[in-house]
Structures are given as C-alpha cells and as structure tokens.
Chains A and B, each alone.
Chain A
Amino acid sequence: MSLSNTDRQLAALLRVGALLAAVIVLLILWFLFKESWALLRQVTWTRFFTDASWHPVAGLYRITPMLSATLYATLGAVLLAAPLGIASALFNQYYAPPLLAAVYRRLIGLLAGIPSVVYGFWGLTTLAPLIGRLHPPGVSLLTGILILTLMILPTVALTVDAALAAVPVASIRSAAALGLSRWGFISGVALPTARSGLASGTLLAAGRAIGETMAVLMVAGNVAGQPHSLFDPVRTLTANIALEMAYATGDHRAALFVSGLVLMGMVLVLVGVAEWFGKERSYV
C-alpha cells in the first residue's frame, strides 16, 4: 500500500491502539492463570472433580456440583429456547403479516435489551414464588432454566430470523408452485437451508447461558450441592464466583479463578463451534 508520511504516522498510531485492544484478551487470560496458579501448582487438576465437596476454606475443591448445575441449566434453557426462538423466527418470516412481524421483532429486541439483573429480579419476586407453590422452595434449577430461557430466546430468534431471511425468495415461489403447504415448505426447504444459522444461533445462545451470572444467581437458590431434581436449589459456576469473591482469600480466591478459567474454556469452545457453523452460511 502506498502511504504518505502523515499516513504512515497515523497508521502507526492506530496500530498501537489496535494492539492494545488485541492484547486485552491475553491480559485477561494471563491474570486468570496468574491468580489460579497459587492453587494449580499445589493440587492436581483431577481434585476439582474427585474431592469430597466444595469446601475451599477446608481445602476441598470439588466443582462438579457447580459444573453440573451450569450444564443442566444451560441444557434446559437451550432445549426450551431453541424451539421457542425458532418458532418466533418462523412466525416473523412466514406467518405474521409484515406490520405484525415488525412489531414482534421489535418486542424480541426489547426482550434482548432487558438487563439480566432485571430478569433475575422478576424471577425472584414473581416466578420463584409461583414455582414455590408447586414445590418449595421455589428458587430452583427450574426457575433458573425458565429465566435463562427468556434471556437467550431473543438470541436464537434474531439469529434464526436473519438466517431465514437469507432463504432465497425464488425457492418460496417455486415451493408454492409445487403445491407445498406452508409447513411443507418450512420443514422441507426453509429450515434445512437455514440449518447452519439454526445451529450457530443455538450455540451462541448456549454460550450466553453458560456465561450468565446475575439472573441465575438470583433465582436458582445457590446451594452448592449436586442437583437431583428440577426443584432443587442449585449454584452455577458463575453464581459461585459472584457469591464467594466478596470474601474469598488465598487458595479460596485462586479456586474461584480456576472456575473462571473453566468457564472461559467452555464459552470459547462454544463460540468456536458456533463460528465454524456460521462460516458455512452463505452471505447474502
């Protein structure tokens, strides 16, 4: 590229800025490792799975209860949010008249814009008591799943909506010409065509669910034990960090940073897979 002197100076300046921005990720990883190291060098990583319980002050670091709570909550939320989100996108694309679709899309956008702490607050004050009537105490894995579902539904809906919008109009017309019903077209043409969008939307939503802290912290009950039913109070990895960081010191604090590393690893894998799916999508 041919650059003049001013351009070269500006480019150098910008490169410094970009470098700083790019280095933040490394800085985050570095500090996670640095803070975890005090513990990681004393205990083998298997102890996070084989210790008797999570009792960091007593030197017991079993994170599997939290890990399973995170996985159950994420799985449940994705199982609910994926069909609901896909149905919402289908409603926008193929069922609602344009005006209604615009309104509904806006509403989904608003849902996406509500901060997680507000979802948590609502779940705690409205949803948890309702579920508590069904099966006390109310703050439970189920409540967490429901609130997470609400939170990640917009992610699924908006991604799938965009993927469906890229389905060529011509294929809609030719399907109609073949006498396919609306559902016949959707199940036979639209969804298969948009499948990579479906996959990446769902994975992105799963990533969001894993990383979500406040909402689950507020509604899931925060008992650090292995959950046995949907109505058990649970504590996710994120909630665990948020709850204990305030008073954790020494190895306890290091253990929390280890769980931060675990979280980061899970989310990165998901984002990577989602991107891999997303790449297949043809850009329109």
Chain B
Amino acid sequence: MSLMINTKKDNPGAAYTLGPLQAGPPCCVPEPLIQVDNLSLHYGAKPALAKVSLDIYKGCITALIGPSGCGKTSFLSVLNRLTDMIPDCRVLGHVYFDNKDLRHPTLDVQALRRDIGMIFQKPVPFPLSIRRNIELPLREHGMNKAADLNARVQQVLQDVGLWEEVKDRLEAPAQALSGGQQQRLCIARALALRPKVLLMDEPCSALDPIASGVVEDLIQRLRGQYTVVIVTHNLAQARRIANYAGFFWVKERAGCLIEFGQAKQIFEAPVHELTAAYVQGKRG
C-alpha cells in the first residue's frame, strides 16, 4: 500500500491525495463527497482558518482533531453554510458537495442544510415535546401526513436507540430528558431529514462518560449509511471511530490543517512532527 500524502511542512494548504483505502470497513469508500479547496475564513479582520484543503469521503467517519481555537468548528460551519448567520464572517476558497459549488450564492441553503445535518456540542432540544422536536423540521419541509410523521419519528428514534426509552412519553418535554438522551434526540432529529452528511461538533464533550459511550456507539453505527465529520478533543475516541483524521493547529494566528490522512496513519505514523507531538500527548 502506498500512501501518497503530501506533507510539505511549509505549505499546509497543499492538497492531500489518498490512495486506496484498506483500513476502513467495506462500506466506507474513498470517493470524495465534499471537496474543500484552499478554504480561508476571517471573522472581521481576524483570520480563523487559512488555506485548508481536504476531501471528505462518502460513508466514512472523518475526525478533526487539534487544540481549542484552531478553527475546527468554523470549518464545520462552512460546510452547512451556518457561517452565513455570523455577521462579519468572510469565507474564501471553494467547497464542492456532490460536485456542486456549495458556496454558490443562489444555492438553496435550506435544502443544503437538510442534506448536511449538524449536531452541536451542547444538545439543543427545542422547548417542545419529544415528538414535536422531530416533527417540526419535517413539517417545515412539507411532510404533513400523521402516518408518515409517526413512522419517521419511530424509525429515527429506533436508529438512535431511544425508542424503547421514550416510546411511552413522546409527548413529554424534550428538555426533561437526560443530557445523553437529549443528544441522541438531536441526532435523531437530524437523521429524520435523511441527510447525506452529519457534522458533529464535539457531540460527546458535554456528556458524562457512560452517555458519551452510548453516543459514540451510535456514531459508529452511522458509518456507511452516512458520511460523518466529527470534531473531537478526545483523541482516544477519534482513534476508535475515525477512518480519516485531520490535524489542525494554529499557525500565524490562523487555524491550519497540518496533516490529513487515514486515521491509522495519523495516529500511528504521523509524518509531521507537530502531529506526532499532539497525538502522543506532548503538545496541545
């Protein structure tokens, strides 16, 4: 196996081309679904990301690691255009999703966000019942028949392993659920829209270890059917679940992608010395 990974240290923006995938399970194919090319992002005059280029592969789990404040969350927000909602946020570069320009001004952003769901660090259940939480976005997108809605609610709750726990109290307020249950509900709510991609911004970091384990197992089960991009500070977790990993670091006050490759390679044979120091816990 030959990995042709470009790791010129002085040019973190260079493209990474990956060879055939061996480490991942068969459902994970090295076929790029999202292509990021030379992406930079500024908040006002403050740079947050500089020249990031990488591919997100279909059906795989891609973990983004690195210290706080190195632009990982900003990177995720570009992918579903949540950056549109941040005043003063300027994005440069190209992002292609399914070979379409994701940053095109006439793109239907709401449709895009249906295709690319997002899970936040802190679970954000709406102040509604469990059922309404899942139904609300579905109704927004035109699903109105009670039978369809019921079926979808049950299916996604089963998908996230919440059905048995809440099936008798679907009308109860979602905010009465435990933290881990809330996060799984949020995942279910995102899955209900049948997205192609799920962006996860440290989905376990606000949870206790047991709930965190349950959510992690769930993410594992999403592999193949969904493309997952997950930001995590938990290196052990990234190592357990990721097919690909990208390491971000702050250079000249902007977040840069230092190294990107198969997770196994990043964690076991990092090319860049910063990556090596970080994954071995020496820095960051």
Binding site for B on A (CB under 8 A): 1-2, 4
A1 to B87, CA, bound (A): 9
Contact indicator A1/B85 (Cβ below 8 Å): yes
CB distance from A187 to the nearest CB of B (A): 40
User: From residue B52, how far is it (CB to closest CB) to chain A in Å?
Assistant: 22
Which parts of B90-114 form the interface with A (CB within 8 Å)? 108-110
CA distance A1 to B89 in the complex (A): 11
Interface residues of B (CB under 8 A from A): 81, 84-85, 108-110
Residues of chain B within 8 A (CB-CB) of A1 are 84-85
Can you list 8 residue pairs at the A/B interface with Cβ under 8 Å? A1-B84, A1-B85, A2-B81, A2-B84, A2-B109, A4-B108, A4-B109, A4-B110
- Of chain A, the residue at the smallest CB distance from B108 is A4
* B-side contacts of A2, CB under 8 Å: 81, 84, 109
A188 to chain B, nearest CB (A): 38
Quick one: closest A residue to B84, CB to CB? A2
Between B81, B84, B110, the greatest number of chain A beta carbons within 10 A of the residue's beta carbon is seen for B110
Please give the distance in Å from A6's CB to the nearest CB on chain B. 10
A1 to B82, CA, bound (A): 10
Whole-angstrom CA separation of A68 from B84 in the bound complex: 56
Residues of A within 8 A of B85 (CB): 1
Q: In the assembly, what is the distance between CA of A6 and CA of B84, in Å?
A: 17
Looking at chain B's contact residues, the main secondary structure is helix
- CB closest residue in chain A, given B87: A1
Q: How far is the CA of A211 from the CA of B184 in the complex (A)?
A: 58
Known pairs A1-B84, A1-B85; list 6 more (Cβ under 8 Å). Answer: A2-B81, A2-B84, A2-B109, A4-B108, A4-B109, A4-B110
Contacting residues, chain A, for B81 (C-beta < 8 A): 2
Q: In the complex, what residues of A have CB within 8 A of residue B110's CB? A: 4
* Complexed CA–CA distance, A1 and B85 (Å): 7
Shortest Cβ distance from B149 into chain A, in angstroms? Answer: 21
Q: Which residues from chain B contact A4 at a C-beta distance below 8 Å?
A: 108-110
- Could you tell me the distance between the alpha carbons of A4 and B109 in the complex, rounded to whole angstroms? 8
Q: B193 CB to closest chain A CB, in angstroms?
A: 15
What 8 A-B pairs have minimum CB-CB distances, sorted nearest first? A2-B109, A2-B84, A4-B110, A1-B84, A2-B81, A1-B85, A4-B109, A4-B108
B112 — nearest CB in chain A belongs to which residue? A2
Q: How far is the CA of A109 from the CA of B81 in the complex (A)?
A: 46
In the assembled complex, the CB of B81 is this many whole angstroms from the nearest CB of chain A, namely 6
Chain A residue at smallest Cβ distance from B82:
A2
Q: Which A residues touch B84, using CB under 8 A?
A: 1-2
Q: Which residue of B lies closest to A7 (CB)?
A: B110
| Complex Cα spacing A2 to B81, Å | 9
A275 → B minimal CB distance (Å):
23
Please name the residue on chain A nearest to B85 by beta carbon.
A1
Cβ of B108: which chain A residues have Cβ within 8 Å of it? 4
| B109 proximity list for chain A (CB < 8 A) | 2, 4
Query: Who on chain A is nearest to B107 by CB?
Result: A2
Closest residue of B by beta carbon distance from A3: B109
Q: CA of A2 to CA of B109 in the docked complex: distance in angstroms?
A: 7
Closest to B109 in A: A2
Closest A residue to B105 by beta carbon equals A2
Beta-carbon nearest neighbor of A1 in chain B: B84
| Cα separation A4 to B84 with both chains bound (whole Å) | 13
Q: Which residue of A lies closest to B111 (CB)?
A: A4
Min CB distance B108 to A, Å, is 8
Question: Closest CB-CB distance, B172 to chain A, in whole Å?
Answer: 30
How far is it, in angstroms, between the C-alpha of A45 and the C-alpha of B84 when the chains are bound?
54
What's the Cα separation between A1 and B86 when bound, in Å?
A: 9
Roughly how many angstroms separate A94 CA and B149 CA in the complex, as a whole number? 59
Q: How far is the CB of B78 from chain A (nearest CB, A)?
A: 13
Q: Which residue of B lies closest to A4 (CB)?
A: B110
- Minimum C-beta distance from B89 to chain A (A): 11
B110, closest chain A residue (CB): A4
What CA separation (Å) do A2 and B85 show in the bound complex? 8
Q: In the complex, what's the smallest C-beta–C-beta distance from A145 to chain B, in angstroms?
A: 48
* CA of A86 to CA of B108, assembled, Å: 57
Per the bound structure, the CA–CA distance linking A4 and B81 in Å amounts to: 14
- Cα distance A2–B84 in the bound complex, in angstroms: 6
A2 CA / B108 CA spacing, docked (Å): 9
A1 to B105, CA, bound (A): 10
User: In the complex, what distance in Å separates the CA atom of A26 from the CA atom of B10?
Assistant: 60
